[in-house]
Amino acid sequence: MHYRADIALSGVRLIMIKQNIMPDSILKRKRARITDRNRWPRCWWYPVPEEDKRHLDVVGQLHESYAKTINKTMFALLGVGFYCLLKVIGESDKSLIVANTTIQTPVGGTSISFQSFLWVAPFLLVILAVYLHIVYGHWLKLERRREFLNDKSEKFGDATIESIPALFSFKERLPRFFTNLVFYWFVPLTLWIMAYKAFALKESILWFSGFASIVTILLLFLQINRCPDSKSESTSRSRWLCWILSRWGAFGRLVAFIVNVPSKRWFWNLPRWVVSGVFVAFMVNLPSVSKSFRRPLNLPREDLKGAWLQGLDMEGADMNNVNLQGANLAGANLRNVNLQNASLQGANLKRAHLQNAHLNAANLQGTNIGGANFDGADLFSADFREAKEMELYRIQKAANWNRAYYTINLFSLLKLSRTHNDDLEKIGTYFQGGKIAYILQPGDTGYVDGEQHGLIAAEEDIKTIYTDAWDKVSVTGYYRWSTGQYENENKSDYASQALFNTSIQVGDGKDNTDKILAKYPAAAFPNSAAAVARAYRGGGYDDWFLPSQSELNQLYLNRSAVGGFVDYSYWSSSEFNAFLAWLQSFGNGDQYYFIQYFKGRVRPVRAF
């Protein structure tokens, strides 16, 4: 029984061998099919030599004609590309949002808007690049035929076909580098620079980045296809060097392999495959990452008077000192926009989104702000006099709304003093030994209706020179809080008891300083922050003190008007606990508590 089964199985195998359907044979045929350069997919990235039986003279004439055409097309491509680069780099972002800037196209001389130019120019570049590569592809075939015929002619002593001297026909490395740069990388680089310009407009990001990626991938693939099997021939010197290195063991053989690698086609194409893979992955994820490529519009000091910008997305734009008088910004997205010192008189800001916008010293007189969202916007010194359709509850959601200018009949509704606008005008003026830094408002400690009181800041930081009792080093302009002057922290009184009753409010800095000095007298701690503030004698006055946390914040808000501050942390007189006290960074405005033996800056103030 087993014998008959073996005979049957052998018969089946014999039939399969005759019909060539054995598994091993199938795998061999599939492998041969895939590795065949004359068939897909391998033919896509390997140059397939084609037999050319044209006569020697015909090859010479066509070779010369194609070379001249390539030269002309290459220079045309460079000319158009550089023209596009100059226009894109030279034009301001204003041209992206208003259509009054016209540009002449490099071909035909037609005048179009810059916005239209950004859409037309990439197609013009790609058309020239396609034509260039079609002609260059034919030239490469003729070049291979020319070299073959020349080798044949040299054997028989016949005349050879001379090559036309051109950048792309030289074999040296430098010309080949520039050929690759112009033929395969110039257009993608130009497209990406144009894309970066368009990235300021949200709706353009996806299209421009996708188009530039496709062109980059196609040209990389074309470069892979045209890469010859042998990049360069190994010289006898390099062969001797490889032989010597191979005697040095594994490391020497590795170095010899690297030295000999220029003749390997895969080595030159590997970076191109990697870059192609990166761009393919980028395109797959483009819809989800496109927002991260958004760049803010750069429009400082631009004249956009009367511009139609309704509903435009300008989030994060830099528009300081811009002229937007009479501009239509209804429904525009102005989140996080820098509009400091901007002129917005008579502009239409109905339903505009101004969340977290910087409107410091912006002029909005007569502006229609009905329904505009000011949540988190900075309105310090903004001018809202005669503003139309103002909704006070929206204004009060902004930061520093009580530091802006308003029409007189709104003072009572906003619970501001009757001299509010005049008070703001006095900020930064010299008075009684320093500069006025703040005028007390209703709700502040010490405010009296009908009277004017506030804070005067010294014109500069305290900068005495002393030897720090703790570090035993000379220090200028930096001071520890009141408990930081002991020689070692193990002493019983070193920051061991909190004051408990210091305040952070405006009007309480003087009381805070008195409490600090009562516990830590200036006689024992002459170089503490509180002591040096009290010892200041600007204008001949002796009632200077260390500002409270809120008073220090008013100095930060008015730092430009007061002047003399540095990007460092300043001490307040408000304690957090036995070991920590409040500071404020004048670099970014952050308020935080820190160890009391930290050395910070001191700017004394006095009340008037």
- Mean pLDDT over 296-314 rounds to 92
Alpha carbons 16 and 386: distance in angstroms, whole number: 97
Instruction: Count the residues in the chain.
Output: 608
Alpha carbons 549 and 564: distance in angstroms, whole number: 19
Closest CA to 230 of 195, 203, 265: 265
Residue 283 is predicted with a pLDDT of 83
Domains and CATH numbers, the chain: 2-35 (no CATH), 56-226+264-287 (no CATH), 296-414 (2.160.20.80), 465-607 (no CATH)
pLDDT in tens, 202-225: 888 888 999 999 999 999 888 887
Structure tokens at 119: 């859409």
Residue 165 is predicted with a pLDDT of 67
Count of CB atoms situated within 10 Å of the CB of 160: 15
- Mean pLDDT over 2-20 rounds to 46
> For the purposes of burial, counting CB atoms within 10 Å of the CB of 334, is it exposed (0-12), middle (13-18) or buried (19 or more)?
buried
Alpha carbons 67 and 168: distance in angstroms, whole number: 9
Considering the chain, what percentage of its residues have pLDDT values greater than 90?
A: 28
3-state secondary structure of 143: helix
pTM above 0.75, yes or no: no
Alpha carbons 289 and 554: distance in angstroms, whole number: 41
Three-class secondary structure assignment of 18-64: HCCCCHHHHHHHHHHHHHCCCCCCHHHHCCCCCCCCCCHHHHHHHHH
Alpha carbons 162 and 321: distance in angstroms, whole number: 64
Quick one: the chain helix, strand, coil %, rounded to 5? 45, 10, 45
pLDDT grade for 343, boundaries at 50, 70 and 90: very high
In the numeric block, the tokens 């990049």 are attached to: 231
Amino acid, single-letter form, for residue 159: A
Residue 161 is predicted with a pLDDT of 62
Inform me whether the pLDDT recorded for 241 exceeds 60.
no
- Mean pLDDT over 268-293 rounds to 82
Structure tokens at 241: 């060097």
Alpha carbons 34 and 40: distance in angstroms, whole number: 7
pLDDT grade for 21, boundaries at 50, 70 and 90: very low
Count of CB atoms situated within 10 Å of the CB of 326: 17
* 536 vs 144, residue with greater confidence: 536
* CB environment 407-425: b (16+ within 10 A), e (fewer): eeebbeeeebbeebbebbe
